[in-house]
Amino acid sequence: MASALSAFRVSISRISSFRARQFSYPATSGLAHTKRIICSSSHSLSPSDTSSSSVSLMGTNENARWRPMCLYYTHGKCTKMDDPAHLEVFNHDCSKELPVTAADLKGKKPQEFDFFLVLDLEGKVEILEFPVLIVDARTMQVVDLFHRFVRPTKMSEQAINKYIEGKYGEVGVDRVWHDTAIPFKQVVEEFEGWLAEHGLWGKETDGALNDAAFVTCGNWDIKTKIPEQCVVANINLPQYFMEWINLKDVYLNFYGREARGMVSMMKQCGIRLMGSHHLGIDDTKNITRVVQRMLADGAVFKITARRSKSNMRNVEFLFKNRIK
């Protein structure tokens, strides 16, 4: 076993420093049909969390060695959970990068929603990646993550291969994408099953979310891209995409300063960027870290945009002071 572990480490060391650093750590609840992996509760609050040695969401634990998340695990397809060499290199705990301590809760205010669903899509021609992270509005804890790579509906295999190589090849996750990607229609079906398991959605509620709201870094994801993808996939736009919270608008109105994107928000707040920018699950986690910081600072999250029920192309923006 020792020789096997040594050989594995040698093979990993041959990856370039860029690829090793940014390789992939998206963590989620691999809902492969009936299988669901809940986030570890290793960061639940306890009296000891109030000590100065606790790792706050305001920073990162410099003593803990960062490991990329196993992307097969996020899809419920990891077959190496009993392999010490694999476990030595890859993380399988989706809460490690997003800890919360008791001190972080002191300035938090009551929220209108019980849960926030942080979403950050990837893919400009068609959606390639669909990550969603649940944050408990009361505790700020990560509850669970949903992550799916999405196979384009209308593109040729040649176009897909070129698209994926350009998008994910440089961070070393193109092979995982090809092994796990599924059509958008199936992603939506699995996502709805995942929401229902958490009690956040059900057909009996007319398709709306139950005490939860989407949080996105901008309007594009839900306002534009999801409706476009629904047309391409020949499915109706789900009712739970009728309203959302644009983090940029909440950030502007709470702090009184403008931030055009996730990276600028993190810089202004002094939060270190983790993982690979434009790998959807990493961006979702980083956006969540901004959400946690804002909650800790006392921000109240309200719906910022809502579709017209009579004409879904019409969107009403509810904040007078907003990013345009």
**DSSP per-residue string spanning 264-294:** HHHHHHTPPP-S-TT-HHHHHHHHHHHHHHH
Give the integer Cα–Cα distance in Å for 226 and 205. Answer: 21
- 3-state secondary structure at position 212: strand
Q: Span 38-48, mean pLDDT? A: 33
CA-CA-CA-CA dihedral for 160, 165, 166, 171, to nearest 10: 140
Give the model's pLDDT for residue 57.
Answer: 54
Q: Let me know if residue 123 belongs to a domain.
A: yes
Task: Give yes or no for a contact between 30 and 76, defined as CB atoms under 8 angstroms apart.
Answer: yes
pLDDT bucket at 159, cuts 50 / 70 / 90:
very high
Contacts 24+ apart (CB under 8 A), 239-242: 239/206, 239/207, 239/208, 240/195, 240/201, 240/207, 240/208, 240/209, 240/214, 241/214, 241/307, 242/208, 242/306, 242/307, 242/309, 242/312
Q: Domain range for residue 272? A: 102-150+183-317
Lowest mean pLDDT segment, chosen from 86-90, 91-95, 263-267, 269-273: 91-95
* Residue 214 φ/ψ, nearest 5 degrees: -75, 145
* Residue 15 φ/ψ, nearest 5 degrees: -70, 140
Instruction: Indicate left, alpha or beta for 298 from its phi (over 0: left) and psi (-120 to 50: alpha).
Output: left
Give the integer Cα–Cα distance in Å for 176 and 149. Answer: 9
CATH code, domain with 273: 3.30.420.10
Task: Tell me, yes or no, if the pTM score tops 0.75.
Answer: yes
The one-letter amino acid at 71: L
Q: Span 94-100, mean pLDDT? A: 80
Give the integer Cα–Cα distance in Å for 169 and 313. Answer: 35
- 3-state secondary structure at position 214: strand
Active-site hit among 192, 197, 277, 278: 278
Give the model's pLDDT for residue 11.
Answer: 34
User: For the segment 195-207, what is each residue's pLDDT rounded down to a tens digit?
Assistant: 999 999 998 777 8
Q: Let me know if residue 282 belongs to a domain.
A: yes
Q: Let me know if residue 19 belongs to a domain.
A: no
Q: Let me know if residue 256 belongs to a domain.
A: yes
User: Does position 17 have pLDDT exceeding 60, yes or no?
Assistant: no
Lowest mean pLDDT segment, chosen from 28-32, 178-182, 190-194, 263-267: 28-32
pLDDT bucket at 312, cuts 50 / 70 / 90:
confident
More confident residue, 90 or 34: 90
User: Does position 254 have pLDDT exceeding 80, yes or no?
Assistant: yes
Q: Span 80-105, mean pLDDT? A: 87
Q: Let me know if residue 115 belongs to a domain.
A: yes
User: Does position 22 have pLDDT exceeding 80, yes or no?
Assistant: no
Give the model's pLDDT for residue 235.
Answer: 97
Lowest mean pLDDT segment, chosen from 20-24, 125-129, 140-144, 320-324: 20-24
Task: Give yes or no for a contact between 74 and 30, defined as CB atoms under 8 angstroms apart.
Answer: yes
Q: Let me know if residue 67 belongs to a domain.
A: no
Q: What is the DSSP string of 51-104?
A: STTS--TTS--TTSPP--B-HHHHTT----TT-HHHHHHSB--TTTTS---GGG
Nearest to 219 by CA among 251, 184, 235, 243: 243
Q: Let me know if residue 251 belongs to a domain.
A: yes
- Tally of domains in the chain: 1
Active-site hit among 86, 92, 122, 243: 122
User: What percent of the chain is predicted at pLDDT more than 70?
Assistant: 80
User: What percent of the chain is predicted at pLDDT more than 90?
Assistant: 66
Residue 277 is among the residues annotated as catalytic for this protein: no
Using CA atoms, how far residue 236 sits from 216, 218, 227, 317, in Å, is 21, 23, 8, 23
More confident residue, 14 or 300: 300
User: Does position 302 have pLDDT exceeding 90, yes or no?
Assistant: yes
How many alpha carbons lie under 13 Å from residue 67 in its C-beta half-sphere? 18
User: For the segment 51-75, what is each residue's pLDDT rounded down to a tens digit?
Assistant: 333 345 545 444 456 677 888 999 9
pLDDT bucket at 30, cuts 50 / 70 / 90:
very low
User: Does position 314 have pLDDT exceeding 90, yes or no?
Assistant: yes
Q: Let me know if residue 246 belongs to a domain.
A: yes
Give the model's pLDDT for residue 224.
Answer: 97
- 3-state secondary structure at position 316: strand
Give the model's pLDDT for residue 279.
Answer: 92
Residue with tokens 């920018």: 277
